[in-house]
Structure 1
Amino acid sequence: MELDMTHDIQSVFRKLLNCMSRPGLIENISTESQKIDINIDISSHLLTVLFTVLDGEVSFDLMALNGNQLVKKINQLTYAKNTAIQQADYIIVTKTADQLELLKACGKAKVGTLIDPHKSATLIMEVEEIFAAQQLVLTGPGIERESYVSVSGSLDWIGKRMEKNIEFPLGIDMIIVDGTGNIICLPRTTKIAYQGG
């Protein structure tokens, strides 16, 4: 069975919207992503997210091992244009990227302008695992009191994200996807406190 570029992508889009409006909520896209049968050096879960958010109207940059080959393939599959990280609408950081590349992505991402805050970047980050635990405490719009989630790997990006989002409405949004198809979203309005793991 192949991924239905209308029905399945709409399903993933609804899940992303749900996660963006309820930060910390974990949705799973493995039902959709397991239908992908494309020879590409990234996970089907991440590729499904890219099919959902990328098209010919947006730009992207990529942080990954063998990034040049992947950039061409993503361009062919989605029609999105590759551009310098400072101008990219979407910055994709695969789990093969190192921490310095992730911090660079956070640091160089565009934050929009006061007139056009929506012209900011969305960082799409791939991690090994997302799970419900009290490692990160989330507060802000869409969260009744507090929401809790854990993300595997180094969390140095939290400080960089905080710096980028200090002058609301400027800032970056984040989509995080893991190896089992779990996704969470962290809009710029969400505050993150680290509880320890």
Structure 2
Amino acid sequence: MLSRTETFSGGFADPVFDAQTAFRMLMDCMARPGEIGEVALSLSPPAPLGIAAGAVMLTLCDHDTPVWLSPKLSQSPVPGWLAFHGGAPVTPERHDARFAFFETKAPLPALGAFALGTQEYPDRSTTLIIEVASLKDGQPLLLRGPGIRDTAGIAPGGLPADFLRQWNENGALFPRGVDVVLTAGRQLVALPRTCKITAAAVAETPASEG
């Protein structure tokens, strides 16, 4: 049984002001892929939802935005917390979701399993919010595309091994496709579908002479 404390507490201290602050930060990150944003607001979502993911949830999810939750999140206090603080409905159907949330180490379905939008309405797609172990200590990735001067670098830890392949397939669908927000604790980075991602080349260490 879920406790009333987990359901009713831990939201934004000032819902209107904090949501506006989080929204501006999230839009800045969407406009500048690879730039890491930090949630400095007072927020305490129920485990296993991270702070940045919780801020995104309360900022973007309302009664008009169906939300899909990973199995672990759906069996936690998160659905009740979301219903109380945001009023967003939870849907079991991935294609109906405007937003989908995953906790750290959650199995990630194929990106194509979610709503991809249409040629006429590409915005009718799902945005995936994926919690990872870190944005700085994992596989180095290079980002290119709109909003990026030359390249930007991130190093998320914990993405599936086939994420880059799936992301390339997602990009080929443009203007259709999903957008992704990676979160780690209080930090987040946005990966809009226009962003091209490749593995960063690792410099070889010269062989020692002698």
1:75 aligns with 2:80: no
The residue aligned with 2:141 is 136
The residue aligned with 2:25 is 15
List aligned pairs for 1:28-47, cutoff 5 A. 28-29=38-39, 31-32=40-41, 35-37=42-44, 39=46, 41-47=48-54
For residues 87-119 of structure 1, give each alpha carbon's deviation from its aligned partner in whole angstroms, at most 9, with x where no partner exists: 111011111513xxx1x1523111100110110
2: CA distance, partners of 1:76 / 1:96: 26
Paired residues of 2:46 and 2:81 also in contact (CA < 8 A) = no
The residue aligned with 2:126 is 121
The residue aligned with 1:50 is 57
**Among candidates 162, 165, 169, match of residue 159 of structure 1:** 165
Pairwise CA distance, 1:71: 2.8
* Change in 2 beyond 3 A, CA 1:196/1:97: farther
**Among candidates 11, 14, 26, match of residue 4 of structure 1:** 14
1:97 aligns with 2:106: yes
3-state SS of paired residue (2:14): coil
Pairwise CA distance, 1:8: 1.6
Counterpart residue identity of residue 159, structure 1: R
Larger Rg: 2
The residue aligned with 1:148 is 153
- Displaced runs of 4+ in structure 1, greater than 6 A? none
**Among candidates 175, 185, 190, match of residue 185 of structure 1:** 190
What TM-score, normalized to structure 2? 0.81
What TM-score, normalized to structure 1? 0.86
More strand by share: 1
Pairwise CA distance, 1:38: 5.4
- Where does structure 2 lack aligned partners over 5 or more consecutive residues? 1-9, 203-210
The alignment yields a C-alpha RMSD, in angstroms, of: 2.3
Number of residue pairs aligned between Structure 1 and Structure 2: 189
Pairwise CA distance, 1:74: 2.2
For residues 7-56 of structure 1, give each alpha carbon's deviation from its aligned partner in whole angstroms, at most 9, with x where no partner exists: 12211111111110010011111x21xx2245554223321121111111
Paired residues of 1:120 and 1:171 also in contact (CA < 8 A) = yes
For residues 114-170 of structure 1, give each alpha carbon's deviation from its aligned partner in whole angstroms, at most 9, with x where no partner exists: 110110110111111112898110001111111111101134323223222312101
**Among candidates 167, 174, 192, match of residue 180 of structure 2:** 174
2: CA distance, partners of 1:68 / 1:59: 17
1: CA distance, partners of 2:86 / 2:200: 38
- Where does structure 1 lack aligned partners over 5 or more consecutive residues? none
Paired residues of 2:130 and 2:182 also in contact (CA < 8 A) = yes
